[in-house]
A = this chain, B = another copy of it.
């Protein structure tokens, strides 16, 4: 999908997010990064993605500012891809995808991986959309508004 910068859709943060990180491999790479995967070969092995595609995705993710390239932490001459603050903040996106998948894409008797908090080993709270006053909101409780630059 190419978003014409002059088209109204580029005003939508969802569209821009999808433009930046919204492809299958990018989000899988980021998911792996949350599991402390950092090196090219580790991503490749974990995902089974073609090397050229992985190289390409990592390059754009670095350009976008989701990853930083750093010298390897083990002292070798190689490099590591480490999530930036911007990258780490994708966590809620990945977790909400995970929770939706757990709920709707698995039958009860299937083996799956789950996310637990380190402190108590408990499963996480379901992620919810809330108003500023803390009330849970569904899709029909919200509306989109265009905010023009310069106006308050």
Contacts and interface: CB of A to CB of B under 8 A. Distances in A.
A35 interface: yes
A73 interface: no
A109 B144 contact: no
A100 B7 CA distance: 19
Interface string A124-137: 11011111111101
A40 interface: no
Given A105-B16, A129-B124, A129-B127, A147 B117 contact: no
Interface in A1-46: 1-5, 7, 9, 11-20, 22-25, 27-28, 31, 34-37, 46
Report how many copies the assembly holds.
2
Interface residues of A, number: 92
B138 A88 contact: yes
Given A110-B149, A111-B146, A144-B115, A22 B27 contact: yes
A91 B129 contact: yes
A75 interface: no
Contact of A16 (B23, B27, B106, B128): B106
A146 B89 contact: no
A89 B113 contact: no
B132 A120 contact: yes
12 contacts: A1-B36, A13-B99, A14-B98, A16-B101, A18-B24, A18-B27, A86-B104, A92-B129, A110-B149, A113-B145, A116-B143, A119-B141
